[in-house]
Structure formats: structure tokens, C-alpha cells
Structure 1
Amino acid sequence: MKSISYIEDMEKWRESFSFFIPIKIRFSETDMYGHVNNVSPFIYFEEARIEFLKSIGLFNNAQNEDGIPVVADLQCDYHKQMFFNDKINLYVKANSIGNTSVDIHYMALDDKEELTLTGRGRLVHIHPETGKPVALTESMKQKLKR
């Protein structure tokens, strides 16, 4: 397997995930060659990230005056082709937590537990009116560490 810059030890990294959502590949997510279009994993990441944040009790209120999460960067590494009707489990975890942001990691495994995708992205907690970064509270940090 190729080296991935944000993963030091693949086995240790894989074992550190606990939260996942199941995803069934829809026809509309495939390209003319029949495999998953290169933009579709970013939709899977978004869906899994939202469910992860909801599961730990963060960012449930869209009208939060204290701050909202925005994606600052996002990357995906493709390891194995996926096709219409395939089923994957998309895992999500908070990998590192900063003062105003959190680095989220993603891992997709197919029904044979083989790695299909890895990814990462930074969420920045910003004030909804000013757009400036806002510090994560200690409560938020503790929820993300779980």
C-alpha cells in the first residue's frame, strides 16, 4: 500500500476508529465506467461527519450563536474501486484537536473489510456573523476526544 502522509502506522490507525455509518453506493454516484465518481467520497465524508458530530452531541443546533463548524480543507485517497450497489462502512474520528479546529479522519471498508478510501479534513469553529475562528470549549474538546 502506498504511503499516506497523515497516517503513521496503518494498523494502529485502523484500530482507533469506533464510529461508522453504512453506505450503499447509488447508481447516481457512479461514472460512465461504472465505478464511484471521484467526487462521491466527499459526499460520504460529509454524511458520516454530520452523523459523528450529532452522535457526540456537537453542532446539533444550526442556529448556534457561539460558533459553527466549517470545512477548511478536505482530502481523499482512493485505494480500491467501488461500484454501484457496493456497501461500505464509513468510519470517522477526531484525530487531533486544536484551539479552534479539529482534524477529522475517515476510513471506508468494503464488505470484505478491505480498505477502499482514506481521508482527512480540518473543521474550523467560526463565529457565524464575523467568520472569525472561535475557540472550542473544553466541553467540546472532551466530546471530540471520546
Structure 2
Amino acid sequence: MFTEVIQPRFSETDALGHINNTVVAVWFEACRTPIFKIFTPELNLQQWPLIVASIQVDFKAQLHYGQEVEIRSWISRIGNSSFDVTQQAWQQGKCCAEGRTALVRFDYQSQQASPLSPELRAALEQHCQS
């Protein structure tokens, strides 16, 4: 599992005084960077091998400005050319949001999914959690 602490910014709040729902997906994407580095260690966009097939976020409680948020990320499914990343946003000991993103290894020249190599699969398996 990967963990990262986010300090919510004032600009991420909404008119109701809590963190805007759209912000959580952005935080989740930022915290997938260690997973992206498995595929592209230098994060070279010219060699980017992943596309997003699906994003789902479920909100369980409000998130607030002025209090740290811990993002927990892990691999929850590995397929032939795709895998799922499950992520949670925790604040003050409570899971406030949980999401799942399906990522696909993609060949831009052929415009189709590309199988995960045994090496990539092994690297992803190191970060699996059920």
C-alpha cells in the first residue's frame, strides 16, 4: 500500500465549507504517481503507457479544510492488460471517501490494449491488498 498526506487548500473548499467532491478524484490521481512510476519511472509523457478506463468515487463523510487527509492506495485487481487501483481518503481516523480506478496498459500506435508483462504483473502484485 502507498500512503500520502495531503494538506487541503482553501481553494478546494466549496460554498458549504467542506472539500468539494471534485477534488477527491484529483487527489487520488496525484497519489497514483508511485504506480505510474512502475510503468514509466521518469514519468515521461512521450512514453506514457496507461489510460483510464473507469473512475468511481463513493463519499462516506465530509472532508474539511485545515485538517490533513491521508490517501491510501493499493492494487485491488490485476487482469490481462488492465488493473484496478483502490484508494481511500482518511481524515481524523475516518474513511471519508473510497474510489476505484481501472487503468489499462495501452499501445498508442496500434490503438489497443497491451498485455501486462510478467515483470509489470510482479511489480503490481507487490502492492496488492484485498
TM bucket by the smaller chain?
A: 0.7 to 0.9
Q: Distance in 1 between matches of 2:80 and 2:70?
A: 30
Q: Confirm whether residue 75 of structure 1 aligns to residue 56 of structure 2.
A: yes
In structure 1, the partner of 2:4 is: 21
1:107 pairs with one of 62, 68, 88: 88
- Is there any run of 5+ residues in structure 1 with no aligned partner, and where? 1-17
Deviations 1:38-83 (A, max 9, x none): 11011011001123432xx33234332xx61111000111111112
In structure 1, the partner of 2:26 is: 43
Deviations 1:75-113 (A, max 9, x none): 111111112222111011111100100011001111x32
In structure 1, the partner of 2:123 is: 143
- Is there any run of 5+ residues in structure 2 with no aligned partner, and where? none
The structure carrying a bigger strand percent of its residues is: 2
Instruction: Give the length in aligned residue pairs.
Output: 124
Q: Check whether the contact 1:52–1:92 (CA below 8 A) recurs between aligned residues.
A: no
The amino acid of 2:16's aligned partner reads: Y
In structure 1, the partner of 2:79 is: 98
TM-score of the superposed pair, with normalisation by structure 1: 0.79
Q: Check whether the contact 2:53–2:103 (CA below 8 A) recurs between aligned residues.
A: yes
Q: Confirm whether residue 122 of structure 1 aligns to residue 108 of structure 2.
A: no
Q: Identity of aligned pairs, percent?
A: 28
Q: Distance in 1 between matches of 2:106 and 2:35?
A: 19
The amino acid of 1:87's aligned partner reads: E
Q: Distance in 2 between matches of 1:108 and 1:134?
A: 31
